[in-house]
């Protein structure tokens, strides 16, 4: 009986929505993503084509970039399931539909020549997508506060045949506190944050370029959280739009996230 319960629990976890950690939620059943958990693929091509066919990835621009970045090089198991997967260091790689959703929200701010920041870059997957979108005249920075995780992401990127992005400077990975951003590479036209901040980090707002956009979950851990869109006008005026309710892991410090030792998968 215990083994049966364990098996059911694991199966349920595999289809949780990454936005709110719930099986039944508006993000999986809304008009734009009601086919999310039917988008699993046999390989990267079929996964992305399914996301596109199911109208989760809406633009050819985002589809074509995701086709270039093989998720199998960034996660050790179940790479082509449309579900989050553990990658060690007490974090997960987001579900493919969440990566597609983020890129769709930011695509107009990831044009060639623009600059992007990925806070909590984790496996490096989304940072690579952003780097490809901004092109060799632009640049993307991925920041994470665990040095071992940043090194692992470098290895992932090399395995995916994208080492040239790092060598050219089109993609830059740094170890640091993402809550403070990375001013050296800014200002940024696009900022993506992959964990929930209790309040909007002012330093990230300051590093947003005029005309730029940030997508960030905001709210206390275990409390009311929302995915917010932050835009800075050309005159510097900042506007905040609540997109929808979510439940994310907290944007926290290294010591609270991972105490060292053996990484868990």
53 is catalytic: no
CA proximity to 228, closest of 237, 238, 241? 241
CA proximity to 128, closest of 82, 176, 81, 74? 74
- From the list 7, 11, 22, 94, the catalytic residue is 94
User: Using only C-alpha atoms, what is the Rg of the chain?
Assistant: 17
What are the catalytic residues?
94
């Amino acid at each position: 009986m215990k083994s049966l319960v364990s098996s059911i629990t694991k199966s349920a976890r595999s289809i949780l929505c990454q936005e709110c950690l719930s099986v039944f939620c508006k993000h999986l059943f809304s008009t734009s993503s009601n086919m999310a958990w039917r988008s699993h693929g046999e390989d990267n091509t079929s996964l992305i084509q399914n996301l596109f066919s199911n109208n989760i990835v809406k633009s050819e621009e985002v589809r074509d970039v995701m086709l270039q970045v093989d998720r199998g090089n960034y996660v050790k198991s179940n790479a082509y399931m449309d579900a989050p997967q553990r990658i060690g260091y007490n974090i997960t790689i987001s579900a493919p539909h969440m990566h597609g959703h983020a890129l769709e929200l930011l695509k107009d701010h990831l044009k060639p020549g623009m600059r992007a920041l990925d806070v909590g870059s984790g496996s490096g997957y989304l940072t690579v997508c952003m780097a490809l979108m901004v092109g060799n005249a632009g640049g993307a920075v991925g920041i994470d506060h665990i040095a071992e995780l940043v090194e692992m992401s470098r290895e992932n990127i090399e395995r995916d045949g994208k080492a040239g992005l790092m060598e050219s400077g089109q993609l830059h990975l740094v170890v640091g506190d993402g809550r403070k951003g990375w001013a050296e590479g800014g200002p940024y036209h696009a900022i993506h944050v992959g964990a929930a901040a209790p309040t909007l980090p002012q330093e990230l707002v300051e590093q947003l370029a005029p005309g730029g956009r940030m997508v960030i979950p905001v709210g206390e851990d275990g409390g009311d959280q929302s995915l917010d869109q932050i835009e800075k006008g050309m005159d510097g005026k900042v506007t905040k739009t609540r997109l929808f309710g979510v439940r994310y892991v907290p944007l926290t410090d290294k010591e609270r996230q991972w105490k060292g030792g053996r990484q868990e998968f």
